[in-house]
Structure 1
Amino acid sequence: MSRLLIKWLLIVLLLLGCYAAPAQRPAELGQILDGNQSIHTYLTVYSDSSKALGIDDILQPLYQQQFSVPTHLAYEQAHWGKISIRNEHKKVKFYFLYVGQNDYIDAYYVRNGEVVNHVKSGYLYAGNEKYLEKGSYYIPIEIGPETTQDLYIRIEESLHHDPDFDLQLYSSDGWTKKIINKQVSDLIFQAIFWVMLLYNLFLYFNTRIRSYLDYSLYLFTVSTSYLFLSGLLREIVLQNTPEMTPYFMPIISLTLFMYWRFVLHFLDFKHKFPNFLKYLQPFMNLNGVLAILLLIYLAVTMELKLPVLIMRYQIILNVITIFALIYLLRGSKFPLNKYFIVGTFLLMTFSLVEAITWDPNISTAILVKYGILFEMIVFSVGLSQKKKIIDEERAIKLKQEIQQFKNNETLAQWQKEELEKIIDSRTEKLNQKNEVLKEAFRRAEEAANAKSEFLSIMSHEIRTPMNAVIGTIHLLLSENPKKSQMDNLKTLKFSAENLLILINDILDYSKVEAGKIKLESIPFDIRELTKGIGNAHEIKAADNGITFSILIDHKIPSSLQGDPARISQILNNLIGNAIKFTPKGEVRLLINLKERKRNKVKLQFAVEDTGIGISKDKLEIIFERFTQAHADTARKFGGTGLGLAITKRLLALFESQIYVESEQGQGTKFFFTLELAEATSPTTIVDIDPKDLTPYVKDKRVLIVDDNEINLLMAEKFVTKWGMLCTSVRSGQAAIAALFDQDFDLILLDLQMPEMDGYETARTIRALENEALSSIPIIAISADTIDNVQQSVFQSGINDFISKPFNPPDLLSRIHQHTSEIKKTNKA
């Protein structure tokens, strides 16, 4: 019973609703064509505050009863319009219905209560979504003969906030005339802009008169502004992204900026009207800044009301300023003023009217269009007149320069004669000085060569006995001496090694000064490199009662490309200094990765200590040769004062420099950066303790060639101690003869020998026809250094090189390397 009651109540309510809804009569096509009469009176409207209703909802009786005569349409709501259009003719008719300027327009064609078609139009729908790509606010209507078409139109605003139903019906011809002809006209006008723009650019590149460039830029902004105002920008350029159109609104402000930029240069305010320039230039810049601020505001808010208001007042203010300027310049006799006044006056008048009446929804710019066309004609004539004035000024200036040149020519001739006399006199004196300088240079060169030769000879002569001294010390230390003897031997070893360091410092500094050191580029392992450095310094640090540690950034790649020998030399110098001048505490080597890109790494090396420190007034001089921080340093700690000087010059070869931070009594920090390439292939590391190599070289047969009896004896003792079988000869001829008498696994060859030196001996061996003899590994042992003899050594076919005095474990490692079974297999 209750269900039946509810059903009848609903039927009654629907009947009452239908009775309350206004009767809607169809609009007849024959009376309302081509916008001659509005069909707004045939429209009823329903406002959807939720914006969520679709056409299926609207067709329900509950909503049909709420359609009513349209009143004020609020932009916060979506609005549905309903209209019926009847075709009384006896043939199918096709029309275009102008809906009104709305952001979104959806038209639903309904027949017998069913939706038969759906098309889109409006400001913000993309062109590829709309039935009509041109004419943003039109929808098509196709009606059969003597038929009534029910049409439901949904409109919604998101930008302009002024929804509107302004229904007007157009035939196909009427629509074409209204839309297509307008766009063709606008495109022709755009073509005129670009022809003038390109023509002025052409004139600028031919004459380099800046006003042509400024006018071209002004025309570009005018063209873009007109595209925006006329709707071409949205309907053609941004057809599929119409939501971007409002971002172009600030181009109007930018156009004003470019206008002032052109005018200030066209009328040459800088020279003709400087008093006006100090006010107009800030005003010009204000227009440019305002364009940027408006763009930012639109990007953040997408709200048009405030920008439209601001630009309206901006245009009015600019127009007033231009009228005031025209008034102030009216009495000036500058010939270009009249072109500015005539060309601008009409445009500004039209712009003022347009600004007052401008509606961004309508976006018409007819008055401004004709004002700009008139201005282009006048300004073009003015620019040609400006070119004529500039050409005349240039001609006058050229005449003056020619006259001045003629006046100067006579003076120049006299000056030339006088100068020739002075030059002849000075040339004679310079020739005399050059002769003196050449002689001084020759003597300096001879002295440098003599110095280099002397150092080379002294190196050989000193290293030879040092080899015997250091070799004897190593032998004695390896024979388990008594404790009292051990202390004396360690003291002797320390003194001998220090003496060798002094010799090396002096020779290295000499090479750096002479520019004879060149950096290698070979792969090496940074961790293995520092491991060797650590092993060399840990014992010395422990003897001094301090700790030595190495910290390496784990992000540093292991395999790098560079000169490991010179890097070791730099680090050894700095660490040795730090240990020497640190009576207590610690010394640390820190290596950090600063940057890594494009297969290159930038490393920072730092050596820190807690030693005696350096006073601030001594921080600069410590890098000078033979200089130390205190006068008693050499006496107290030893050294030549060359270590830091050599380090500084070696880092210069790496295109780097060393820095120091120190405070007396608080320790010192030396640091520098190196940029190294990452090695393309990993380095091979053989980490074997030399003491473990003795079994590998036992019973190997070695030929020792040296003309110095002491050196020969030292080498024999070491190789015999390692269990090798050795034969000794004292000349190159004897070595070649020995090869034919016995079989050898290796040759230890001295380079400096009388009659037949080591190089010639090696070349002779390599030239032997017997492959077993010509391929015997040869290790050169010389009192010289590898830097001096490297090229000659390897050109002679020598496999390896070791400098005297040699480190016995190092020699043992080299012997093992060249006599191992792997080496023999590879050669075979």
Structure 2
Amino acid sequence: MDLEEALTKELSLNQHLSIISDSSRTLTIDQILLPIYQQQFSKKHKHLDDQSAHWGKISVTNLDEKVRFYFLYVGKNDFIDAYYVRNGHVIDHAKSGYLYQGQEKQIVKGSYYIPINIGPESTMDIYIRIEEQIHHDPEFELQLYSPDKWNHKIVNKQLSDLIFQCIFWVILLYNLFLYFNSKEMAYLSYSVYLFFVSLSYLFLSDLLREMVLTSVPWLTPYFMPAICLTHVFYWQFVFNFLDFEKNFPKAYRILKPYMYLNALLAVIIIVYIVFTGEPGLPAVTIRYQVLFNALVVMAFIFLIRKSKLPLVKYYALGTFLLVVFCLIEGITWDPNTSTAYLVKYGVLFEVVVFSIGLTQKRKLNEQEKKDILDREIKELKVKESLSEWQKEELEKIIDNRTEKIEEKNKILKEAIKRAEKAASVKSEFLSVMSHEIRTPMNAVIGMIHLLLAENPKKSQMDNLKTLKFSAENLLILINDILDYSKVEAGKIKLENIPFDLRELTKGIGNAHEIKAADNGISFNILIDHRIPASLKGDPARITQILNNLIGNALKFTPKGEVRLLINFKGKSKGKVKLQFIVEDTGIGISKDKKEMIFESFTQAHTDTSRKFGGTGLGLAITKHLLTLFDSQVYVESELGQGSKFFFTLVLKEEKIMPEIVDIDPEDLTPQLRDKSILIVDDNDINLLMTQQFIKKWGMYCDIVRSGKEALKAIFDHDYDLILLDLQMPEMDGYQTAETIRSLDSDNLKNIPIIAISADTYENVCKKIEKAQIDNFISKPFNPPLLLTMIGQYLIHNKKEKRSQSNN
């Protein structure tokens, strides 16, 4: 066949084509050239099976005396291989088709073309192999083009498409710019709509595959859902552009779910393509989607044709021509050809009209804002005179109320001052009364201890025990009142020092076992073995809380048992959570009295204080102390069935064990014999009582009644320890201790000083530390405790600690 003649007469080359099918898809060009396969070529064209590869053979001739170059359009196939054969030998091989990568093709643009380069007055056989992979419509549609005609058809089209894309993106970016300036959602939704229109057109016009996805052309079908998303964002733009929800509420309720259906269809199509790799069904589905959306748009335009909304005409005009073109394109569209000429010009027309419409919308919005502002200004002017009158009246009312408020504030300030003064007087009174009572109580309790130690008669022993019990109860009442006054004044602060929980409970047990035995009940302490040996917290306040709860349990348990349980509840970040439980088999508490028992000066029953005694402050103090630990106490009880008080504490675990000095007072007397003690106190009774205890323990002692006498005495004699009262006239115990510590003599600087005071440690601890006093014992003191404290400093050489601190 002469190529020039076929080109001039625009003849179809299919009539010169012979075809053979390869069901195995494995035949090569060398096999095809064998006589056995040459005999099978036939010019009778049957339906081409999409499961087979197909070979086409055509002979071409150039009768001119110069070299000719042509472009041969083969047909829309995934893979096209052209083999050029002369005299039975393959002289060249060219690739084309939908799925070959751009770098593999001799002709990148156009996708389905192969080159024909034939010398002068020569003949050549061309064997063309076609095969489908994702499409299912193999075809031979041979058309011959000259270079000029091909350039006009392909290159000019792509240049036109690129210009069209540039227009899209200029308008898109301009609308984004307008959105960021105005925050008008119509501009943003229009920009997104234009993006998907641009992406859809890239797919339809083959620019996406030939210019973007050249190395991965098989990904092209995955962009097919962009057409669905174009419809989604078209409706989103229309909703914003026409203020749909406000102006067309009924249509909005219908079309918004319809918009989401379009989005759902896009998701279904992409999932279908991912799992099947088949674009045929999605292509048909999208065609019907386009048609259906076009019909919906036409119906909507018809419904709103009489609307007085100014923007409706821009929407209807911009959409109508595009819809008509889309209907035509949707009916005739073939996903393999993908020209979409009509859609291109329809979209361009729509873009121009919509852009004008958006400009008009912006003007309308500005005008609306201006009208609203004008109305507000008018309303303000109308109200201005009324506001002036109201202002004057309000000023009068405010002035009147201000005077009343200032008067009430003055009264309130005076009331607060009176309350603060009353609280201060109350706290000071309680403190003074406690101090004044403790001083004679020290003598009373001390004398009782001395008399008990002198082997009295049996009749005297019973009287002395009764006297001792009454004195100790009186001391407990005094301590409760003083502690409660401190709690109310907020003067109690927690310490954070290492302590051994087991040693602490051992001391608590020793303190309560005797009373429990006297009452004929058993007292037990059970500690979880998982609790660390050393903890960090305020052991004094923990002891006070437990003493209050255990003391109450012993007081209200006529028979049976009282138990202290300490359970391990967990450990996290170096902190241990413990649960403390005090339970008894006593008289119990009725349900309606459980909250009352934690109130100040209150007990569960009116006859309780007459029968069992007490101030009713113990549980109130316990409740306040636990608040300082960020905890609270709970109670479970039934009348006649006993009680259970429990609370939790979170304490730090201490790695270093605290030093524990455990001295039995019975063993101290021989070791302390002949030690020399100086007693400083301005109260003759306290001096006499303390002197008798010191002598009883086998030590020497001198007594002085003032700080000045104490300073003179330490220069005249060499004392091993000083017992120093803090409250003295002229020169108190703090001044005396500071003076002793400032002396040049190392012996006097390091002499142990133990303060004895009717005050509590919390009130004097800072002053004691400043005066460098070694330790403190409160009046009335427990003689064995005083003996143990003296032993700690004289037997275990506590002077060494003082020397190290001074250095």
Structure 1 length-normalised TM: 0.68
Partner secondary structure for residue 691 of structure 1: coil
The answer on whether the counterparts of 2:77 and 2:132 sit within 8 Å (CA) in structure 1 is no
Read off the aligned partner of 1:690 and give its amino acid letter: D
Given the superposition, is the C-alpha separation of residues 278 and 179 from structure 1 closer, same or farther in structure 2, using an over 3 Å criterion?
Answer: closer
Deviation readout 1:647-676 (Å, 9 max, x if unpaired): 4444544556566666664854644575x7
Could you say which residue in structure 2 is the equivalent of 1:195? Answer: 173
Could you say which residue in structure 2 is the equivalent of 1:593? Answer: 570
Read off the aligned partner of 2:391 and give its amino acid letter: K
Q: Distance in 2 between matches of 1:739 and 1:660?
A: 56
- CA shift at 1:485, angstroms? 9.7
Read off the aligned partner of 1:792 and give its amino acid letter: K
The 5-angstrom pairing of residues 258-297 of structure 1 reads 258-284=233-259
Q: Distance in 2 between matches of 1:493 and 1:301?
A: 99
Deviation readout 1:58-85 (Å, 9 max, x if unpaired): 99x9xx99x999999999x998999999
Deviation readout 1:499-531 (Å, 9 max, x if unpaired): 5554444333333333333455x4646xx3466
Given the superposition, is the C-alpha separation of residues 532 and 296 from structure 1 closer, same or farther in structure 2, using an over 3 Å criterion?
Answer: farther
Q: Distance in 1 between matches of 2:549 and 2:290?
A: 73
Q: Distance in 1 between matches of 2:455 and 2:197?
A: 100
Deviation readout 1:599-649 (Å, 9 max, x if unpaired): 585847463747566555445444433344444554555554444444444
User: Which of 513, 526, 547 lines up with 1:549 in the alignment?
Assistant: 526
Given the superposition, is the C-alpha separation of residues 446 and 548 from structure 1 closer, same or farther in structure 2, using an over 3 Å criterion?
Answer: same
- CA shift at 1:257, angstroms? 4.7
Does 2:660 correspond to 1:688? yes
Could you say which residue in structure 1 is the equivalent of 2:581? Answer: 607
Partner secondary structure for residue 344 of structure 1: helix
Partner secondary structure for residue 301 of structure 2: helix
- CA shift at 1:392, angstroms? 2.0
Read off the aligned partner of 1:199 and give its amino acid letter: F
Could you say which residue in structure 2 is the equivalent of 1:396? Answer: 371
Could you say which residue in structure 1 is the equivalent of 2:734? Answer: 759
- CA shift at 1:410, angstroms? 1.8
Could you say which residue in structure 1 is the equivalent of 2:87? Answer: none
Higher mean C-alpha deviation, range 615-624 or range 709-718: 709-718
- CA shift at 1:445, angstroms? 1.9
User: Which of 508, 513, 520 lines up with 1:536 in the alignment?
Assistant: 508
Does 2:356 correspond to 1:381? yes
- CA shift at 1:388, angstroms? 2.0
Given the superposition, is the C-alpha separation of residues 775 and 535 from structure 1 closer, same or farther in structure 2, using an over 3 Å criterion?
Answer: closer
- CA shift at 1:756, angstroms? 1.2
Read off the aligned partner of 1:545 and give its amino acid letter: S
Partner secondary structure for residue 173 of structure 2: helix
Higher mean C-alpha deviation, range 632-641 or range 160-169: 160-169
- CA shift at 1:450, angstroms? 0.2
Deviation readout 1:333-352 (Å, 9 max, x if unpaired): 01122222233344555566
Given the superposition, is the C-alpha separation of residues 85 and 443 from structure 1 closer, same or farther in structure 2, using an over 3 Å criterion?
Answer: farther
User: Which of 310, 313, 326 lines up with 1:338 in the alignment?
Assistant: 313
The answer on whether the counterparts of 2:74 and 2:112 sit within 8 Å (CA) in structure 1 is yes
- CA shift at 1:417, angstroms? 3.0
Given the superposition, is the C-alpha separation of residues 666 and 759 from structure 1 closer, same or farther in structure 2, using an over 3 Å criterion?
Answer: closer
> What is the aligned-residue identity percentage?
48
Read off the aligned partner of 2:565 and give its amino acid letter: R
Does 2:281 correspond to 1:328? no
Read off the aligned partner of 1:760 and give its amino acid letter: Q
Does 2:381 correspond to 1:441? no
Q: Distance in 2 between matches of 1:300 and 1:584?
A: 77
The 5-angstrom pairing of residues 125-524 of structure 1 reads 188=166, 191-192=169-170, 194-205=172-183, 209-216=184-191, 218=193, 256-284=231-259, 317-349=292-324, 371-467=346-442, 499-520=474-495, 522=496, 524=498
- CA shift at 1:456, angstroms? 1.8
The 5-angstrom pairing of residues 615-764 of structure 1 reads 615-635=590-610, 639-653=614-628, 665=641, 668=644, 670-671=646-647, 682-686=654-658, 688=660, 690-691=662-663, 698=671, 704-707=678-681, 708-709=683-684, 711-712=686-687, 728-743=703-718, 747-764=722-739
Deviation readout 1:184-218 (Å, 9 max, x if unpaired): 6687367436513531332234xxx4444544555
The answer on whether the counterparts of 1:697 and 1:724 sit within 8 Å (CA) in structure 2 is no
Read off the aligned partner of 2:763 and give its amino acid letter: N
Deviation readout 1:423-477 (Å, 9 max, x if unpaired): 4444444444344333322222221110111122133234445555666777889
Given the superposition, is the C-alpha separation of residues 229 and 549 from structure 1 closer, same or farther in structure 2, using an over 3 Å criterion?
Answer: farther
Q: Distance in 1 between matches of 2:718 and 2:217?
A: 94
- CA shift at 1:782, angstroms? 3.2
Partner secondary structure for residue 492 of structure 2: coil
Given the superposition, is the C-alpha separation of residues 388 and 90 from structure 1 closer, same or farther in structure 2, using an over 3 Å criterion?
Answer: closer
Q: Which residues of structure 1 form unaligned runs of 5+?
A: 1-27, 110-116
Given the superposition, is the C-alpha separation of residues 655 and 516 from structure 1 closer, same or farther in structure 2, using an over 3 Å criterion?
Answer: same
Q: Distance in 1 between matches of 2:226 and 2:554?
A: 71
Partner secondary structure for residue 331 of structure 1: coil
Higher mean C-alpha deviation, range 333-342 or range 629-638: 629-638
Could you say which residue in structure 1 is the equivalent of 2:760? Answer: 785
Q: Distance in 2 between matches of 1:234 and 1:571?
A: 84
Q: Distance in 1 between matches of 2:57 and 2:456?
A: 122
Q: Distance in 2 between matches of 1:636 and 1:726?
A: 45
Given the superposition, is the C-alpha separation of residues 361 and 410 from structure 1 closer, same or farther in structure 2, using an over 3 Å criterion?
Answer: same
- CA shift at 1:276, angstroms? 3.1
Given the superposition, is the C-alpha separation of residues 403 and 43 from structure 1 closer, same or farther in structure 2, using an over 3 Å criterion?
Answer: same
Deviation readout 1:726-773 (Å, 9 max, x if unpaired): 655443223333443445565444322221122222332333344553
The answer on whether the counterparts of 1:524 and 1:559 sit within 8 Å (CA) in structure 2 is yes
The answer on whether the counterparts of 1:587 and 1:610 sit within 8 Å (CA) in structure 2 is no
- CA shift at 1:784, angstroms? 2.7
Given the superposition, is the C-alpha separation of residues 202 and 588 from structure 1 closer, same or farther in structure 2, using an over 3 Å criterion?
Answer: same
- CA shift at 1:331, angstroms? 0.5
Given the superposition, is the C-alpha separation of residues 135 and 434 from structure 1 closer, same or farther in structure 2, using an over 3 Å criterion?
Answer: same
Q: Which residues of structure 2 form unaligned runs of 5+?
A: 84-92
Q: Distance in 2 between matches of 1:697 and 1:148?
A: 132
Residue-pair matches, total: 773
Bigger radius of gyration = 2
Given the superposition, is the C-alpha separation of residues 138 and 199 from structure 1 closer, same or farther in structure 2, using an over 3 Å criterion?
Answer: same
The answer on whether the counterparts of 1:533 and 1:572 sit within 8 Å (CA) in structure 2 is no
Could you say which residue in structure 2 is the equivalent of 1:112? Answer: none
Q: Distance in 2 between matches of 1:716 and 1:99?
A: 126
Q: Distance in 2 between matches of 1:429 and 1:491?
A: 63
Given the superposition, is the C-alpha separation of residues 96 and 392 from structure 1 closer, same or farther in structure 2, using an over 3 Å criterion?
Answer: same
User: Which of 760, 779, 798 lines up with 1:819 in the alignment?
Assistant: 798
